[in-house]
């Protein structure tokens, strides 16, 4: 027997795979005169079902996550950085161009206006192309012309992330209160928020987006990422 011959490797169960989670919906970024910046994630389709969350960064740099349940909170906190995590219902209602967001801690109302040239350009990109990581990587450099904006980067827990923007509308008015304190009129999202590798555009806006999060390689059956995604969807 040839001593250099190695036994055949284990079956597909030992292959190293990556898990991908896909969130489809909207992100709104709004600054306030008090210095608090708010980022709403409203996901109409996600591995956790329809879900919404809010990330806040106060003027002193304190970062807070509002998430509706422990599972969603754990996933988001494992992807982004926060100083405080609050698990509380986050209810989002939209009627035409008017949006209302409420939780135990937060009350937010905002209205969007007509899309400008960038919004029209994003809508012109075929949806199937807009969400592909290679396309998102290609538009990352021009996106940086918007201060703080990135379309891809590394996240917490060894994860990678891609933002496939498909539409953009300006936020033309907003009111917000946190723990009963009025945060003041809308203002630019400045300085950029520091939850992850990128921020929302400086000008308050609502973005139609598909976000893809990819985990580090782990040992598991081939296609394990897809199987996990299916299990999560089944649980919702």
- Cα–Cα distance between 45 and 233 in angstroms, integer? 9
Name the one residue in this structure whose structure tokens are 């308050």: 204
Q: Which CATH number fits domain 18-235: 2.60.40, 2.40.400, 1.10.3470, 1.10.357?
A: 2.40.400
pTM above 0.85, yes or no: no
Q: What is the pLDDT of residue 236?
A: 34
Which residues have CB under 8 Å from 171's CB, separation 6+? 28, 30, 110, 111, 112, 113, 186, 204, 205, 206
- What pLDDT, on a 0 to 100 scale, did the predictor assign at position 228? 32
Measured distance CA(110)–CA(58) in Å, rounded: 19
- The pLDDT assigned to 199 comes to 79
From CA 47, how far away is CA 229, in angstroms rounded? 6
The tokens describing 189, both together, are: 């999202």
In the predicted model, residues of the chain with pLDDT beneath 50 are: 1-14, 221-236
- DSSP assignment of 20-38 equals EEEEEEEEEEEEETTS-EE
Gap between the terminal Cα atoms of the chain: 54
Task: Write down the pLDDT at residue 146.
Answer: 57
Per-residue pLDDT reduced to its tens digit, 105-144: 999 999 999 998 878 877 887 777 767 776 666 665 555 5
Question: What is the tens place of the pLDDT at every residue in 148-170?
Answer: 566 666 777 788 888 888 888 99
pLDDT of residue 117: 86
């Amino acid at each position: 027997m040839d001593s250099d011959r190695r036994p055949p490797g284990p079956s597909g169960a030992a292959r190293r795979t990556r898990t991908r989670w896909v969130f489809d919906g909207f992100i709104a970024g709004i600054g306030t005169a008090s210095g608090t910046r708010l980022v709403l994630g409203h996901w109409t389709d996600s591995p956790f079902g329809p879900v919404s969350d809010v990330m806040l960064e106060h003027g002193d740099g304190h970062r807070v996550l509002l998430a509706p349940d422990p599972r969603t909170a754990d996933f988001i906190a494992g992807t982004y950085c926060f100083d405080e995590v609050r698990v509380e219902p986050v209810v989002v209602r939209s009627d035409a161009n008017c949006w209302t967001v409420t939780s135990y801690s937060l009350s937010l109302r905002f209205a969007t206006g007509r899309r400008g040239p960038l919004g029209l350009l994003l809508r012109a990109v075929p949806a199937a192309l807009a969400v592909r990581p290679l396309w998102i990587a290609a538009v990352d450099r021009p996106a940086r012309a918007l201060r703080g904006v990135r379309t891809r980067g590394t996240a917490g827990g060894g994860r990678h992330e891609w933002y496939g923007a498909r539409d953009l509308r300006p936020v033309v008015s907003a009111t917000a209160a946190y723990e009963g304190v009025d945060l003041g009129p809308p203002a630019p999202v400045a300085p950029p928020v520091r939850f992850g590798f990128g921020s929302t555009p400086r000008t308050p806006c609502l973005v139609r987006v598909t976000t893809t999060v990819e985990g580090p390689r782990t040992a598991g059956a081939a296609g394990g990422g897809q199987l996990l995604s299916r299990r999560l969807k089944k649980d919702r």
